[in-house]
Structure 1
Amino acid sequence: MADFHQNGVVATLHNLRERSLDRMEKELAVFSQEKPITLILPSLYSELEAPALDHIVQELSQVPYLAEIVIGLDQADERQFQHAKHYFSRLPQKHTIIWHDGPRMRGIDDKLKAEDLSPDQPGKGRNVWFCMGYVLGSGRQGVVALHDCDIVTYSRDMLARLVYPVANPRFPYVFSKGYYPRIAERSLNGRVTRLLVTPLLLSLEKVIGNHAYIDYLKAFRYPLAGEFAMQGQILSDIRIPSDWGLEIGVLSELWRNQSSRKVCQVDIADSYDHKHQPLSPEDAAKGLSRMSIDITKALYRKLATDGVVFSQDTFRTLKATYYRTALDLVEIYHHDARMNGLTTDRHREEQAVELFAANLIDAGNVYLENPNATPFMPSWSRVQSALPDLLRDMQQAVRLDAEDTPAATG
């Protein structure tokens, strides 16, 4: 059964299981008349070939309150784009596919490159950034939600609970972040949150002292959750990180731009599972190894902007503090799992901690070598200032792609 604990930093909205999905969706249908609700789905083409997205689309086809679904499609050639149009055609809601690899969207990117505004890395962050620009250009940005396309345990009440806090006009929130337990196959998952982010925040607090930003991040039960929703008016000023630091970066932007009283986290699922990344200890450019470095760099850079001074000595002390803290948590997670009839692999958990500890130093070295790096993509406010017609051009490019490329029927 859910608790009702509040941390005092950001509001936590629990699932006390006292109201039906039907009732919540009816309310959302009313709210959406004043604030249209748009869902962004950043997707690789390969996800269209997996069962998770097929189930997500089936669930979404039953959602009555969505004004539009915007699908950002990456790594697709023309034939695959045609197939994607057929694949998503079963959605009864208005839906739009942004073909990022098509010639028209590449032309949009060329205009951005000419002004040194183009995202410099492929990936989810770039996909989401372009989708946000498209939604801004459409003028239908009442409430905008986002979730991944690889959620194996998806159900449409996850979306309803995610958007409700920012769609309800009687609530003060401009941003809601989903949270849930990561459980699958009788095992605890979520290694990067459990074994990197949580002990790292605790260790940073020990090394640099109390800091309001660290307290803010610690308040989130699952800071790396890819599910969030926001009021559309804040889209234009958010700077999206271009690497694996997307989720931490978005929370940092909310910290910079909004009062924490306007930010909430909401319980959206009893269990959650999605595609698992490999640990990849042999290649720091892949898997959870790269993710851990990108997340750690994002934390260092954000704290530096708040006046924290880092050095090699700081990072060495932080590594030692993190290592002991993380190993203590491995023990606690093992007890928690056993109490609930679940398992953890102690050997693999400690391997992950060893890798993450080494990566704290690697991330620190990258930061010290280039402390002035700007890992964020520009805000859409800046893009509109430099290229006033770009959002209109993007709308036209997406519309022409939809009209000129017939949907594949097979």
Structure 2
Amino acid sequence: MPDFHINYVPTFTLLQKETLVAMEERLLQASTRIPIGVLIPALFSDLASSAMAHIIEELSQMQFIQKVYISLDRANAEDFHRAKEIVALLGDKGRLLWNDNPEVQQVIKQIDELLPLGPRGKGRAVWTALGYILAKEEVAVLAFHDADILTYDRLFMVRLLYSVVHLRYQFAKGFYARYGDRLYGRVVRLFYFPFVRSLREILGNLDFLEYMSDFRYPLAGEFAMFTSIAREMQFPSDWGIEVGILSEVYRLIRVPRICQVELTNRYDHKHQEIGSGSQLGLQKMVGDIARTFFAQISSQGIILSREFFRTLKLTYLNHARGVVGVYEAFAEMHDLNAYDLHLELTAVETFANALDTAFDDFHQYPFGAPLIPEWRRIEVAIDGIMQELTTALDRTEP
């Protein structure tokens, strides 16, 4: 997506691949002073996939990465033993963190009794590993990405890390185009963009909404930051994690020190189903994202009434139906014959209905999705708890 458009958030598009060697050399030099780690949350099914096998192979060859932390979630003892064999290729740089180790769960229970952590999910898996990483102090910069990336390569990681380690931005968010024989990324295309546009139309010129609307793929799971920032962050335990992290970054860092980086020409990963109910699939994701936005906007002193929600839903439907026509033309221009206008409009209507549940949940729980407390507060509240966590996670046997 080569261009020179100046966004509100500094944006680095992908112009060519010929710079990869030079960028990697600079990154390797910088990593001797600024050690780099990668955090990957994964279920065992993700870890055992061909996508993760390729990711592990690529990471094992990246000399500029000192540590790879894999947060294994919802796995039994047998899964853990099999997972150790899968990550063995990483050698000394690999750290397999088994969240379901009974000793680890006991430490987490101790924290949860004092500072509620919310339900288990991707956010909790990231948070648990983050506590270990911060306590160990082995890395200064940490990259995050998912375990199901099918189009993973060296350029992907070099570009994401280069903006932080070499250019010294404090936070970098990855973006890309997601397509195959059709356009993917339904939640970001058909919900997030028209939803945020609707909020801006109704609420006017809010700096937070300008910032959130400027990311080209805001729901991407790939980002990098200095660990000093990560220590201060709160984020949701549910599927609102990406939006929650962007909100926290906005709170902690000046926008000129935040950037977004195009990572690859095409990205693909495991595709989620729409879901048959508000607590399943992409419908749940939409609800979690919406509640995160509502909590952030309310915290800025804006009253969100029932009339506001009614207007928002109608405005969203208007904008979302409009973008479907644009995507239909986009698909035709690129000969993506699998584009289905009916399914796209059905997705829009389903997401609009998911907003109803999000409205009701917000009125019942006005603080939005539970935010996991930042580790800086936890280590002050419970003396020695981070050491207990690292000791438990370091155990290699159940």
Aligned to 1:150: 148
Q: Kindly indicate whether residue 260 of structure 2 is the aligned counterpart of residue 262 of structure 1.
A: no
2:231 alignment partner, SS class? helix
State whether residues 10 and 261 of structure 1, in contact with CA within 8 Å, keep that contact through their aligned partners in structure 2. yes
Q: Kindly indicate whether residue 229 of structure 2 is the aligned counterpart of residue 229 of structure 1.
A: no
Aligned to 2:4: 4
Q: Kindly indicate whether residue 182 of structure 2 is the aligned counterpart of residue 183 of structure 1.
A: no
Aligned to 1:141: 139
CA distance in structure 2 between the aligned counterparts of 1:267 and 1:110, rounded to whole angstroms: 39
2:67 alignment partner, SS class? strand
For 2:41, the aligned partner's letter is P
Deviations 1:185-240 (A, max 9, x none): x2110000000010001111111212111100111000000000001111111002
Deviations 1:151-210 (A, max 9, x none): 111112111111111101xx34100000000112x2110000000010001111111212
Aligned to 2:194: 199
2:282 alignment partner, SS class? helix
Q: CA deviation at 1:139?
A: 1.0
Percentage of identical aligned residues: 37
Deviations 1:119-152 (A, max 9, x none): 2211110000011111100112310000000011
For 1:173, the aligned partner's letter is Y
State whether residues 115 and 373 of structure 2, in contact with CA within 8 Å, keep that contact through their aligned partners in structure 1. no
Q: CA deviation at 1:361?
A: 2.3
For 1:293, the aligned partner's letter is G
CA distance in structure 2 between the aligned counterparts of 1:321 and 1:93, rounded to whole angstroms: 53
Aligned to 1:250: 245
For 1:210, the aligned partner's letter is N
Aligned to 1:292: 286
- Structure 1 284/94 Cα, relative in aligned 2: closer, same or farther at 3 Å? same
For 2:138, the aligned partner's letter is R
> What aligned pairs does 1:58-73 form with structure 2 within 5 A after superposition?
58-73=57-72
CA distance in structure 1 between the aligned counterparts of 2:24 and 2:48, rounded to whole angstroms: 29
For 1:177, the aligned partner's letter is K
> What aligned pairs does 1:68-147 form with structure 2 within 5 A after superposition?
68-117=67-116, 119-147=117-145
Unaligned runs of 5+ in 1: 406-410
Aligned to 1:323: 317
Aligned to 1:362: 357
Q: CA deviation at 1:265?
A: 0.0
Moved more, 17-26 or 129-138: 17-26
For 1:367, the aligned partner's letter is F
Q: Residue 334 of structure 1: which of 303, 328, 338 is its match?
A: 328
State whether residues 278 and 357 of structure 2, in contact with CA within 8 Å, keep that contact through their aligned partners in structure 1. no
Deviations 1:244-288 (A, max 9, x none): 1000000000111110011000000101111111101x3111100
1:297 alignment partner, SS class? helix
For 1:65, the aligned partner's letter is F
State whether residues 67 and 139 of structure 2, in contact with CA within 8 Å, keep that contact through their aligned partners in structure 1. no
Q: CA deviation at 1:69?
A: 0.4
For 1:156, the aligned partner's letter is R
> What aligned pairs does 1:19-38 form with structure 2 within 5 A after superposition?
19-38=18-37
Q: CA deviation at 1:18?
A: 5.7
RMSD of aligned alpha carbons: 1.3
Aligned to 1:40: 39
For 1:386, the aligned partner's letter is A
State whether residues 61 and 93 of structure 1, in contact with CA within 8 Å, keep that contact through their aligned partners in structure 2. no
Aligned to 1:396: 391
State whether residues 311 and 368 of structure 1, in contact with CA within 8 Å, keep that contact through their aligned partners in structure 2. no
Q: CA deviation at 1:374?
A: 5.6
CA distance in structure 2 between the aligned counterparts of 1:379 and 1:395, rounded to whole angstroms: 17
1:277 alignment partner, SS class? coil
TM-score by structure 1 length?
A: 0.94
CA distance in structure 1 between the aligned counterparts of 2:196 and 2:270, rounded to whole angstroms: 25
Deviations 1:59-103 (A, max 9, x none): 112111111000100121112111111110011451111100111
CA distance in structure 2 between the aligned counterparts of 1:370 and 1:241, rounded to whole angstroms: 14
Aligned to 1:408: none
CA distance in structure 1 between the aligned counterparts of 2:273 and 2:211, rounded to whole angstroms: 29
**Number of aligned residue pairs:** 397
CA distance in structure 2 between the aligned counterparts of 1:373 and 1:342, rounded to whole angstroms: 38
Displacement over 4 Å in runs of 4+: none
State whether residues 37 and 67 of structure 1, in contact with CA within 8 Å, keep that contact through their aligned partners in structure 2. yes
CA distance in structure 2 between the aligned counterparts of 1:328 and 1:318, rounded to whole angstroms: 15
State whether residues 175 and 262 of structure 2, in contact with CA within 8 Å, keep that contact through their aligned partners in structure 1. yes
Moved more, 103-112 or 212-221: 103-112
CA distance in structure 1 between the aligned counterparts of 2:115 and 2:209, rounded to whole angstroms: 32
CA distance in structure 2 between the aligned counterparts of 1:102 and 1:341, rounded to whole angstroms: 49
Aligned to 1:217: 212
CA distance in structure 2 between the aligned counterparts of 1:151 and 1:194, rounded to whole angstroms: 19
CA distance in structure 2 between the aligned counterparts of 1:71 and 1:203, rounded to whole angstroms: 38
CA distance in structure 2 between the aligned counterparts of 1:18 and 1:116, rounded to whole angstroms: 47
Aligned to 1:167: 165
State whether residues 316 and 361 of structure 1, in contact with CA within 8 Å, keep that contact through their aligned partners in structure 2. no
CA distance in structure 1 between the aligned counterparts of 2:69 and 2:239, rounded to whole angstroms: 21
For 1:5, the aligned partner's letter is H
2:371 alignment partner, SS class? coil
Q: CA deviation at 1:299?
A: 0.6
State whether residues 141 and 233 of structure 1, in contact with CA within 8 Å, keep that contact through their aligned partners in structure 2. no
Aligned to 1:277: 272
1:108 alignment partner, SS class? helix
For 2:362, the aligned partner's letter is Y
TM-score by structure 2 length?
A: 0.97
Q: Residue 297 of structure 2: which of 294, 303, 307 is its match?
A: 303
State whether residues 123 and 235 of structure 2, in contact with CA within 8 Å, keep that contact through their aligned partners in structure 1. yes
Aligned to 2:381: 386
1:266 alignment partner, SS class? strand
